[in-house]
Chain A
Amino acid sequence: MKTVTSYLLWFALTIAVLTLIFRYFLSFGIESDSFAIVTTSATIYGFLMFVSGWYFGHKDEEYLPIYDIGFRFHLTTYAVHSAITLLWIGLGFCSKHEDTNISINILIYWGILLFIHFIFFLWSRKNSIKDLDKNDLFE
């Protein structure tokens, strides 16, 4: 599929590594009852996720300006984060003090937001020809 670009795959790999590291520190922070570790790791994780999305998103746009209002990157982020979170919980790597329902609820609410994004994505497609913005196609 042409919309699965190499930059999107690099992004997926990068955020998979970041999410794994974050999950480790989150569970470690909860286990150690350290508010500082939890908040610091969450802040750094959020920041690095944004930076990698910004970096690979720009690279991807330079390579081929796919008009998807960011949906591919959002879907990738959700898929990678969800998969790692569910595996982490499923394999029992989380802290015994961790309320796993919070992680599950986050995935549910985030999934609703992703669905709304998907609706906007479908709506935006009428301005595109074969995934490219029809107004910029022959610029």
Chain B
Amino acid sequence: MKKDKILDELLLSWENTYKKGQLTLWIFMALQEGKKYVDEIKSFIEEKSDGTITCEEQSLYRSLRKFEHIDVLAFEYQEGNKGPDRKYYYMTELGQELFDRFVNRNIKLFYSTEIINILKRKDK
């Protein structure tokens, strides 16, 4: 029981550190799929991460504004179902290149057989 409690606390602490910076990757992944407005990006992140990444609307808007400011994202207005037009975000050419390079350098290494085998070691 005590071990479980310590494990939970350690996991939470590790996850808190790990998740810092993850929002950017998830936003880019959401937009890699296609243009989205804020609610769609939020739903994508929460669904695809199995709820491990949650984002408040405020932080999402703040990140989108920053990325728009540095020209890696842009938006266009499209008609919503009801009410005013929605801002649909998409990656700019610079953003797409940034994302591709980031994935190549930091994510694709997890595809290697060696790493996959290490991660699966427990199952052997």
Q: What separation, in Å, do the CA atoms of A132 and B62 have in the docked complex?
A: 12
Closest CB in chain B relative to A60 CB, distance in Å: 12
Given the complex, which residues of B lie within 8 Å of A129, measured CB to CB?
Answer: 70
Q: Are B66 and A64 in contact (CB under 8 A)?
A: yes
Given the complex, which residues of A lie within 8 Å of B71, measured CB to CB?
Answer: 130
Query: What is the number of residues of chain A that contact chain B, defined by CB distance less than 8 Å?
Result: 12
- Residue A65 interfacial (CB < 8 Å): yes
New A-B pairs, 19, CB < 8 Å, besides A2-B69, A132-B70, A139-B21: A62-B58, A62-B62, A63-B62, A63-B65, A64-B62, A64-B65, A64-B66, A64-B69, A65-B62, A65-B66, A129-B70, A130-B69, A130-B70, A131-B69, A137-B66, A137-B70, A138-B21, A138-B24, A139-B20
Closest to A131 in B: B69
Q: What separation, in Å, do the CA atoms of A132 and B66 have in the docked complex?
A: 8
* CB contact list, A18-58 vs B, under 8 A: none
Q: What separation, in Å, do the CA atoms of A137 and B69 have in the docked complex?
A: 11
Given the complex, which residues of B lie within 8 Å of A65, measured CB to CB?
Answer: 62, 66
